[in-house]
Amino acid sequence: MSRRILIIEDSADINHLLAETLGGAGFEVTQAFDGLSGLKAVSSGQIDLILTDIMLPYVSGDEILRRVRETGDLPVIILSAKDMVSTKIDLLRMGADDYITKPFDLGEVIARVETALRRVGKSPAAPSQAEVLQYKDIRLDCTDMRVTVGGTEIKCTAKETRILELLMRNPRQVFTKSHLYESVWQEDYLGDDNAVKTHISNLRGKLEKVNPSGRYIETVWGLGYRLYKEDE
């Protein structure tokens, strides 16, 4: 079954170009030309990934992201002419799965869409993923990528869940920022560690919101991150 991509972009030329390109790559495409129409398409429940601009009529792209993150982990890729680092960090902290700056390469857009879908299990899961990982009061169901802390479910983005899975599968290992980035983002690490720091911070916040006394992810200064070791 082909995956369903929602494009929310008020520029008709860009919207149609993306629709033609993604359709040619085998995806089903739904088009919206303003934020309100985009939200209505999301509410249909027939969408596997959202590709949205920030500056939209009626409802902005960051507001769409905020509302989507209130209810689940549907992949959201931001597509914007805003290339300021602070803007990218803000959107990543809000839960965006990726951020593509205009002007963009169409091949890169397809690759990033495919990668985001793989991260949330929209591609067939490997048999080894059908298991449950446990660390302290954190439980990660690798089949549906569901995270609970003390029985309370928390809504993690695809990248946050993948980071947590990596740490829980290797509880004694210290992961450098470059290792985490290349494992989770599946791209070469070019030295910008803001994405890793932001997602680690967001993940910590969500875990500790449920259990404020919990100590889960430890920063090993000068090296990277690992699960907190009680014996140290």
List the CATH number of the domain containing 192: 1.10.10.10
Q: Are residues 93 and 137 in the same domain?
A: no
Cα diameter, the chain? 59
229 contacts: CB under 8 Å, gap ≥ 6: 172, 218
Digit-coded pLDDT (tens) for 33-64: 999 999 999 887 788 999 999 999 999 999 99
Give the count of domains, the chain. 2
Q: Are residues 91 and 192 in the same domain?
A: no
Q: What is the pLDDT of residue 222?
A: 83
Q: Are residues 100 and 148 in the same domain?
A: no
Q: Are residues 152 and 100 in the same domain?
A: no
6 - beta bridge partners? 30, 50
Q: Are residues 96 and 34 in the same domain?
A: yes
Cα 15–Cα 21–Cα 22 angle in degrees, nearest 5? 90
Q: Are residues 148 and 185 in the same domain?
A: yes
Distance CA 77, CA 50 (A): 6
- Is the predicted pLDDT of residue 208 greater than 60, yes or no? yes
Least confidently predicted of 157-166, 187-196, 201-210, 217-226: 187-196
- Is the predicted pLDDT of residue 212 greater than 50, yes or no? yes
- Is the predicted pLDDT of residue 126 greater than 60, yes or no? no
Beta carbons of 137 and 150 less than 8 angstroms apart: yes
Examine residue 86 and state whether it is found in any structural domain, yes or no.
yes
Examine residue 83 and state whether it is found in any structural domain, yes or no.
yes
Sorting pLDDT into bands at 50, 70 and 90, what band is 232? very low
Higher per-residue pLDDT: 72 or 155: 155
**Which class for 89: exposed (0-12), middle (13-18), buried (19 or more C-beta within 10 A)?**
middle
Q: How many C-beta neighbours within 10 Å does residue 41 have?
A: 19
- Is the predicted pLDDT of residue 72 greater than 80, yes or no? no
Which CATH number is 10's domain given? Answer: 3.40.50.2300
Distance CA 131, CA 196 (A): 26
Sorting pLDDT into bands at 50, 70 and 90, what band is 230? low
Q: What is the pLDDT of residue 228?
A: 86
Task: State which of 57, 85, 119 marks the end of a domain.
Answer: 119
Q: Are residues 72 and 142 in the same domain?
A: no
Q: Are residues 220 and 137 in the same domain?
A: yes
Say what the pTM is.
0.56
Higher per-residue pLDDT: 175 or 1: 175
Q: Which uninterrupted H or E stretch holds 205?
A: helix 194-210
Mean pLDDT of the chain: 86
Q: Are residues 100 and 136 in the same domain?
A: no
Q: Are residues 61 and 82 in the same domain?
A: yes
Examine residue 232 and state whether it is found in any structural domain, yes or no.
no
Q: 75 is in which domain, residue-wise?
A: 4-119
- Is the predicted pLDDT of residue 91 greater than 90, yes or no? no
Q: Are residues 132 and 114 in the same domain?
A: no
Q: Are residues 70 and 86 in the same domain?
A: yes
Q: How many C-beta neighbours within 10 Å does residue 130 have?
A: 11
